[in-house]
Chains A and B, each alone.
Chain A
Amino acid sequence: MTSSDSNSAPTLADVAKVAALSRLALDPDALDSARGDLLAILQHVANLQTLDVEGVEPMPKPQDTVNRLAEDVPGPSLDRDVLLAMAPKTEGHFIAVPKVLGEGGA
C-alpha cells in the first residue's frame, strides 16, 4: 500500500483506488468502514515494526521445506460442462464476461 510507505494514514481516495484495483464497487459507507479496517491493520503492523528483530532471520514460511516438485505427468481436467456451469454467463464453449479490451495487467 502506497500510504504505508510514507507512514501516513490511508485516505478515502487511497481506499477507493485499492477497491478499484480489486474490482470492488464500494459505496461511501463501505469505503469508510473499509478505511477503518485498514487503519486497524496498519496500526497492528506498525506495532510489529517497533519490535527489535536485529539478528533474526526472515521467516516467510513456518517450515523449512523446499523443492516440493511434481513429475510432469498430465492429470484429469474438469468436465467442461461442470466448469461452465459455475460461470455466471457462457457463450458456446466459452465463459462470457463484459468487454475488457485495453485494461488489465501483464
Chain B
Amino acid sequence: MTTGLTKNDIASTRLIVGLEIHVELSTRSKMFTRAANPACPEFENAEPNTLVDPLVAALPGSLPVMNRRAVEMSAMVGMALGCSIAEHAKWDRKNYAYPDLPKGYQISQYDLPLCFDGAIDIPSASPGADGGMRRIGITRAHLEEDTGKLSHELPGGIRYSGSLVDLNRAGTPLLEIVTEPDFDCAEDVVTFARELRSLCRFLGVTEGVMQKGHMRFEPNINLVIDTTDGREFRTPVVEIKNLNSFRAVDGAIRHETERQLDEFLSTGRVMGMGMKQTRGWDDERLVTVLQREKEDAHDYRYFPDPDLVPVEMDEAWKGRIRESIPELPIARRSRYREEFGLPEKDAFALIDDQGLCRFFERTVDAQLAATNPPSLREAGHESAKLLLNQMAKRANESGIVAHEIGITAEQVGELLALRRSGEIPTQAIDRLLKLASESPLSVVALAEANDLLVVRDEGAIEGWLAEAVVAQPKAAEDVRNGKDAALGRLVGAVMKASGGQADAKDVRDRLLAMLRD
C-alpha cells in the first residue's frame, strides 16, 4: 500500500514521545535476596558470577524477601516526582524463558505499582512550552529486578560462538519510571533524562553512571502528520530499547522522526496496524534498526507472585521517607542562580553530587560567619569558584570529588576571607589548599607558619622592586615607553625576589607608578 503522498503534501508533523527509564538502585544487597548488588560501588568490580546466591540461581527451596531500602528509595523517587504512593502494592511474575533469568520469570509490579500519577516541570525548548517550562506527567514508577548479562566475548576480546551468562546483575533492584507521552521534541526528552539522573543521584538512590548501564532509557515515538488537504495521520508507535547515553536518546529520536515520515509516505502504515515495533540504536551508523524478535514474545502471562507478600505503606512510614527528602536539584539550582548569581553551568556542577552541594553551602555559611562577612552573593560566588576550579583540580588528580580533599568548610571560609582582605597573594591559594588538606590547623596559622602572608614591609617591597628593575633593564625600558605587555616580566621578577610573599596586583601598581611618573 502507498499513500500517493509526497513531502510536498505534508503541512506539518508533530512528534509525540513518552519515555521509560530503568534506574538501577545502589542498595548494598539485591531486590529479593541478600546477595551483594553490583550497582553499589562497593561491589561494582566483582568477578563474573560471584554475586550469586541460591535465590539468584533459582535453586529449589529458596524464597524471596524484599529489600526495605529498595522500597524506601523507590518511594523517595516517586515522592520527588510528585507521585502518589500506593497504600497497597503487590508483586507479579512476568514469565519468559531466557538464559539471563534463571527463575524463568522476572518479579515486577503489574497492576499495582508503588508510585503513580506524578509530574515534574522541566525547562523546555519546545515553542509550545508555557513560560519556558513544560510539565511532564509520570504515569507510574514500579520496582522490579534486573536480569543477568549476556555477552559474546571472553576476557581479552576473544569472540565466543554462543552466549556467555554472568548472573551478577540478576536481581539488582530496578526502578522503572514511565512518563506520559508529553514530549514533542528531542531536546526536552534529553533535558528530562538529565534532570532525572541529577534527581536520582542527588537522592542517593543510584550512582547514575550511564556507561555502566545504571540508567537506561527507552523512548516510545510516533508522529502526527497533517496533510495540506486537512487529513491527520498517526504513525505506529516505535519503542527504542536500551539507550544508555543522552547522545543516543537525542540521536534515536531525531532519526525516528525522519524515518517514520519516510516510512509513512512509502507504506501508508498508521497506528493500529500490527503490533508495536521494537528498534535498537546503532551508535556508529546513527540509525535505529529493527530488532529481530518473536511475535509472541510479549505474552508474559503476568500473575501475582505467591512467594511474596504485598507492601503496605502507612502514613507514618511515608512521612519518615518524605522528611528525608532534601531540597531537590531543580529548586536548588534556581535558588543558587537567584541568591548567589551563579551561572547555570556552575549550579549544575555543584548539585551533581549531594555531598559537594552540602559542603558548598557550609563554606558559604563559614564565610558569612566571619568578622567582616561578604555579601551572600559574593560568598556564594567565591565558594563556587574555589570549589569548581582549584579544589576540583586537586580532587581530580586523586579521582575524588572536590569536598573530599580533606579541607574543612571552615578552612575554606578562612582562606577566602584572607584572600578578600588581601592578606594572601592569589598564587598562595594552591599551596594553602594542599597544607589545609593535610592539617586541622586554621588557614591563618598555616599561612603564617609557611610565610604565605603578604609582606607589607615598605622597605622590603621597595628593595624587591629595585632589584627587579636592575635584573630586567629591557622590560623596565619598555614599560617606561608605554608597553604594558612588558610589565609581566617585571612583576614575575619581583614575585621571585619576594619568594611569593608580595601581592601581585600591588606590585603591578607600584611598578607603574615608579616607571611612568
Contact = CB atoms under 8 A, between A and B. Distances in A.
A77 B97 contact: no
A74 B162 CA distance: 32
Interface in A59-90: 60-61, 65-78, 80, 83-84, 86
A61 B97 CA distance: 26
B152 A60 contact: no
B95 to A, nearest CB: 8
Contacts of B304: 60
Given A75-B35, A78-B54, A100-B99, A60 B163 contact: no
Interface string A8-20: 0000000001001
A67 B114 CA distance: 13
Contacts of B155: 92
B94 A105 contact: yes
B285 interface: no
Interface string B132-175: 00000000000000010011101100001111111100000000
A67 B297 CA distance: 32
A75 B166 contact: no
Interface string B76-114: 000000000000101000111111110010100000000
Interface in B284-334: 291-294, 296-301, 304, 306, 308-312
B48 interface: yes
Contacts of B377: none
Given A80-B49, A93-B47, A74 B164 contact: no
Contacts of B150: 100
Contacts of A17: 296
A6 interface: no
A53 to B, nearest CB: 17
A80 to B, nearest CB: 5
Given A67-B309, A105-B94, A96 B162 contact: yes
Contacts of B48: 92-94
Contacts of A93: 47-49, 166
A23 interface: yes
B479 interface: no
A69 B57 contact: no
Interface in A34-69: 60-61, 65-69
Nearest to A96: B162
Contact of B67 (A69, A76, A97): A69
A96 B164 contact: yes
B163 A105 contact: no
B250 to A, nearest CB: 24
Given A61-B306, A106-B147, A80 B57 contact: no
B97 A102 contact: no
Contacts of B67: 69-70, 72
Interface residues of A, number: 43
Contacts of A69: 65-68, 71
A18 B499 CA distance: 83
B164 A104 contact: no
Given A70-B68, A71-B68, A83 B52 contact: yes
B106 A67 contact: no
Contacts of B54: 78
Contacts of A25: none
A60 B164 contact: no
Contacts of A80: 47, 49-50, 52
A72 B70 contact: yes
A67 B293 CA distance: 38
Given A67-B312, A72-B28, A103-B292, A97 B163 contact: yes
A99 B163 contact: yes
A95 B167 CA distance: 9
Nearest to A79: B50
Contacts of B68: 69-72
Contacts of B409: none
Given A72-B70, A95-B167, A105-B98, A66 B53 contact: no
A29 interface: no
A22 interface: yes
B21 interface: no
B508 interface: no
A65 B309 contact: yes
B27 interface: yes
A21 B36 CA distance: 31
A20 B299 CA distance: 11
Given A70-B34, A93-B48, A99-B162, A77 B53 contact: yes
Given A67-B312, A94-B166, A73 B29 contact: yes
B69 interface: yes
B99 A67 contact: no
B433 interface: no
28 contacts: A22-B97, A61-B309, A67-B311, A68-B65, A69-B66, A69-B68, A72-B28, A74-B37, A78-B53, A80-B50, A91-B162, A92-B155, A93-B48, A93-B49, A94-B164, A95-B49, A96-B162, A96-B163, A97-B165, A98-B162, A99-B161, A100-B150, A103-B297, A104-B97, A104-B98, A105-B96, A105-B101, A105-B297
Given A69-B68, A75-B33, A105-B297, 17 more contacts: A21-B299, A23-B97, A66-B88, A67-B310, A67-B311, A70-B65, A72-B68, A73-B34, A77-B35, A94-B49, A94-B165, A95-B167, A97-B162, A100-B99, A102-B293, A103-B293, A105-B94
Top 7 A-B pairs, shortest CB-CB distance: A75-B34, A72-B69, A94-B164, A105-B96, A102-B292, A69-B68, A95-B165
